[in-house]
Structure 1
């Protein structure tokens, strides 16, 4: 087996260059187009009966002078609208829709009317707090909302070519650049909720304007420096409004001077472990990786790598969920991964994918693509019901509905909600699924990388010519993937295919001929097939999907003596609908034979895992709470379903980790 180093600079492949025709993901993308985007439009217009009110669009109408009233909602309510716009942008590329585009254009015009002459755009402050602009960056989410607007603007410009939203975003970014910086008269501050940093890198890429890169660099470099900016701005507010007023500020009373919550406790290059609010962290890490690549900042890259190892090896759930602590939606400490109180916000898994993608763009290492796959098939889509109209904010790995009434478990919901007052997750998930084409391929001058096995087509410039790839797959259920290669002319180049971390015995054929592992070059989890390619060549991949028993690190005390099941990229769970109540009484014998079966009529068509398990005796005439005898056990046939599909058949118990006997 040959191990090679690949030092060529490589390029992202835009969602615009990829057409998806995948049995699994096409269904989700159609659902985003037909159900999620229209449903979320109704939600942000307050037209979903029984759902938490949003008022997000009405806030813009008031700020634009088209309506009267007070601001309603969270201080970051604006971002619900711009994330909807971003999802629309990606959807319009895959499925042009004149009516939807007109609706988006009208919304963009509304944003333009709400923008202030100096470029400022935030409805909360425009409507009721004009004198408090940029006075509390720790808590007020002004740059966070700006970041989501910028991301939407770049996506809409890339898809439609229309500059209206991009011009609004540039004007806003220029205003922010005039407020923050090292120059005299500017604020030496940085965001309390990171988001604008990664957005500025996208804006820099779209416009080529270096001031956006430099502003991102300023925010990253300034973070965690002494004296702490959040403390300085708090003292300014105290001078202006009085100490008692300051103490009533929500975040001040909750977190006080706990700078770890915002990842501002140390300069970013000195941070060794992930801490604080999980979404803020991974959004910042994404920007750090993008910035490191753009500026060749090796110290920043090394920090990203250290943090990556800490998150994925010590603080990540089996499902790709992160942020175990409900207090602050945060990382807690290494190996603290409880199942029943897990917070694991949907947005956090999505942010983890963003970060993994940025790391993957710096170096082709399958450990990043493996995490993208894990989060895609488990920790993200679990946040949305199979109807596209119900959502989880929190994604636990164990649920006992009766216990959700406890104060320490009230964040855990046994069924998905129609909408949220804090509705960051549903539109975030919509934009991820709609932009899925961005995560499948990448390339450099002589190599194409296949990162995700999703049925799709793309045409790339490789070795000085156009090369078309067509991928046929039925992941995550079937083991085989076929890739048809069509170059313009016969030419030598490389196609590097990822060997998933869950696969022990991959097989590769080219035109029906098996490729011996010793004849392949392997680089960080990718098998590189280098040859002279001809029209009609086909790569056939087989990734055996054995049912795997997985065990947690011994320090993960919540999972001691327990086992979890995974087949291919999919993590499984037991649900009350299949196995009855009291899942905690079930144990899986170590030697039990397990079998996988495809059930086309169950939960949209899934592969289930079945086998013999043991259940402790539940019925007993004895009224005693404790006794000396061990209860008898009976054998029964259990069923496990994909974790992402739980809670689609009514309220009930669920467990990913099961006792092993």
Structure 2
């Protein structure tokens, strides 16, 4: 394996109070909890059967396949999350557990390298006959990502070698050669997984196979039609028929011609992530321009304030039209926001723009971690911006927006996906390119980055996001000239920057959202960033009709929500005057300690019991409280909303 490529990312040990707590929850609660789920040992929870499927595929147990066609991916993502935990801190017991299940995975692999328990157990002989719906390459991709992460964390290559054999087999099946299939998967994932594999192997075959899958998508004659005819299928599945046909899988056009995000949101952002990487690795300007155009479309017209994406339930898909972002009927799957983080990170590799980091940060502090409770044992698949429990329980069009997190899901893609993201959060903190070190995220951590063949230790200390002071000690092995590029968030008006207590003029060194500190660095140099964390009002674009006349609150990267637990029932009766000033205070006794906002508001009180009245309801003054959106639904269940009416 190419060890130089394998060490491409900085080594970061997170000590941050905010993220350390979540990493520890993943290690001590989420990973063991999900292991129990994978082994069907959770009472009153949907069975997974993932381990059982592997044992049956390996010939070590008799029985029938159970679960979705992509059931294997729950285990693959568990292995990946374990890898990041082990990279953070050694744990012999956990590593032995992972080694044991990896050995089982390898025993379930076919002699030709193929691995997929659904087709091994349930439909042998039907490999690659329905790429549109059956997730074969998607499943392969998650095992590849797990293999790369485990190799990077432990140096063990058992799973990595198995996946290289699998990729050799896939490469023998797909391609433009006459004897190969011209297809690609309905659910993108293999594309970005192959690029991660390329990072550790340096094998051009892995890079080029990813490039093939991206380039082939949407070409004519359409492969999904070809395989449909081979199956002698008269009609597609319900999703295929009803959700934009080819657009459901972003296969409606060749990727370079796509300028609007359509279809299944998770599939889309996984594909866009691979496109961004390939644009850089292949110096492909067409791919670069397409990804930039799609980014603008998503973030300017189809993204919620919480960085949730995918506004319609049917097809878990993007908006029907621009600015169609309902707060209560949205889908905003946890996996979609996670995919947005992946995409943002890769866009920053492609093009150094701080705005990408702003979106990544918004997703990390809001639309992703809202998918898990503070204990790591209950999960949201859907992350709405308004919830009315009684309606969720009675109205079919809102039944997807659960008023409480669930113990597990039969389609459990989100919990393990979130676990692997949180466990790997340190990997998103720094980016090194030539003699530039980009500080993308702010958290207490010790990192080792390599600049000009020299190790540089960066010790960052902060109580972010609750406080805006971020201090970074710089410890190079020797005096060294390089540029420390510190992201200045777009919301941070009035930010201050210091080096060794000397204030810098940010405006004079600000470039594309980064303050570029170019100097000879010496051991013990200190960079201090002071970000103003004043609560800010946020207003939606006038075309976003659901939020007309409403206001939301944000403090730093954190979006706030109003809960029934703090403000009583009937939250739509609340309003806030334009002149009301929100006050922030740390409250250690609620939600594991958060900064909450209080603001003076009004509550409408009906004059009588009539459904319609001739006079406007009277209003009383009330003190309203908002808590971070990610932490809602960690107390007694109740109503929640992000956007509140603003009085005229």
TM-score with structure 2 length normalisation?
0.97
* Residues 260, 276 of structure 1: 8 Å contact kept: yes
**Cα distance, 1:156–1:464 mapped onto 2, change above 3 Å:** closer
- Residues 462-497 of structure 1: per-residue CA shift (max 9 Å, x gap): 245322111001111001000111122333322111
* Residues 6, 200 of structure 2: 8 Å contact kept: no
Matches of 1:252 and 1:482, distance apart in 2: 51
Partner of residue 347, structure 1: 335
Residues 1:102 and 2:114 are matched in the alignment: no
* Residues 74, 413 of structure 2: 8 Å contact kept: yes
1:458 to 447, 451, 457: 447
Is the partner of 1:231 in helix, strand or coil? helix
Distance apart, 1:513 and its partner CA? 1.6
2:285 to 298, 321, 333: 298
Partner of residue 354, structure 2: 366
1:225 to 188, 204, 219: 219
Is the partner of 1:612 in helix, strand or coil? strand
Is the partner of 1:59 in helix, strand or coil? helix
Matches of 2:299 and 2:80, distance apart in 1: 28
Partner of residue 4, structure 1: none
Matches of 1:166 and 1:391, distance apart in 2: 30
**Cα distance, 1:457–1:517 mapped onto 2, change above 3 Å:** same
Matches of 1:268 and 1:287, distance apart in 2: 11
Residues 1:654 and 2:635 are matched in the alignment: no
Partner of residue 300, structure 2: 313
Distance apart, 1:57 and its partner CA? 0.8
Partner of residue 7, structure 1: none
Partner of residue 285, structure 1: 272
Q: Specify every segment of 5 or more residues in structure 2 that has no aligned partner in the other structure, as ranges.
A: none
1:562 to 546, 550, 558: 550
* Residues 10, 447 of structure 2: 8 Å contact kept: no
Root-mean-square deviation (CA, aligned residues, Å) is 1.4
Matches of 1:339 and 1:492, distance apart in 2: 49
Residues 1:428 and 2:420 are matched in the alignment: no
Distance apart, 1:249 and its partner CA? 4.2
Map residues 428-447 of structure 1 onto 2, 5 A cutoff: 428-447=417-436
Partner of residue 528, structure 1: 516
* Residues 320, 375 of structure 1: 8 Å contact kept: yes
Matches of 1:532 and 1:186, distance apart in 2: 55
Partner of residue 568, structure 2: 580
Partner of residue 208, structure 1: 202
* Residues 63, 123 of structure 1: 8 Å contact kept: yes
Matches of 1:513 and 1:115, distance apart in 2: 60
Residues 1:606 and 2:600 are matched in the alignment: no
Residues 1:153 and 2:140 are matched in the alignment: no
Distance apart, 1:556 and its partner CA? 0.5
Partner of residue 483, structure 1: 472
Distance apart, 1:235 and its partner CA? 1.0
* Residues 139, 251 of structure 1: 8 Å contact kept: no
Partner of residue 631, structure 1: 617
* Residues 6, 201 of structure 2: 8 Å contact kept: no
Matches of 1:611 and 1:177, distance apart in 2: 60
Distance apart, 1:254 and its partner CA? 4.4
**Cα distance, 1:112–1:16 mapped onto 2, change above 3 Å:** farther
* Residues 346, 393 of structure 1: 8 Å contact kept: yes
Matches of 2:545 and 2:277, distance apart in 1: 35
* Residues 343, 412 of structure 1: 8 Å contact kept: yes
Matches of 2:111 and 2:41, distance apart in 1: 32
1:129 to 108, 114, 123: 123
Is the partner of 2:443 in helix, strand or coil? coil
Distance apart, 1:295 and its partner CA? 0.6
* Count of equivalent residues: 641
Distance apart, 1:250 and its partner CA? 4.7
Moved more, 486-495 or 102-111: 486-495
Matches of 1:516 and 1:210, distance apart in 2: 45
Distance apart, 1:168 and its partner CA? 1.2
TM-score with structure 1 length normalisation?
0.95
* Residues 7, 152 of structure 2: 8 Å contact kept: no
Matches of 2:363 and 2:514, distance apart in 1: 20
- Residues 499-554 of structure 1: per-residue CA shift (max 9 Å, x gap): 01111000011111211235x42210000112222221111110001111000001
* Residues 472, 482 of structure 1: 8 Å contact kept: yes
* Residues 16, 93 of structure 1: 8 Å contact kept: no
- Residues 320-373 of structure 1: per-residue CA shift (max 9 Å, x gap): 110001000000221111100110000000000001111111122101111110
Partner of residue 6, structure 1: none
Matches of 2:478 and 2:191, distance apart in 1: 42
Structure with the larger RCO, 1 or 2 (CA within 8 Å, 6+ apart): 1
Map residues 62-101 of structure 1 onto 2, 5 A cutoff: 62-101=56-95
Matches of 1:494 and 1:209, distance apart in 2: 31
Partner of residue 314, structure 2: 327
Is the partner of 1:541 in helix, strand or coil? strand
Matches of 2:34 and 2:444, distance apart in 1: 27
Partner of residue 33, structure 2: 39
* Residues 12, 442 of structure 1: 8 Å contact kept: no
* Residues 10, 431 of structure 2: 8 Å contact kept: no
Q: Specify every segment of 5 or more residues in structure 1 that has no aligned partner in the other structure, as ranges.
A: 1-10
Matches of 2:240 and 2:506, distance apart in 1: 58
Matches of 2:432 and 2:236, distance apart in 1: 52
1:58 to 52, 57, 66: 52
Matches of 1:12 and 1:71, distance apart in 2: 36
* Residues 84, 431 of structure 1: 8 Å contact kept: yes
Partner of residue 169, structure 2: 175
Partner of residue 406, structure 1: 395
Residues 1:415 and 2:409 are matched in the alignment: no
Matches of 2:496 and 2:149, distance apart in 1: 38
Matches of 2:452 and 2:144, distance apart in 1: 34
1:645 to 631, 639, 645: 631
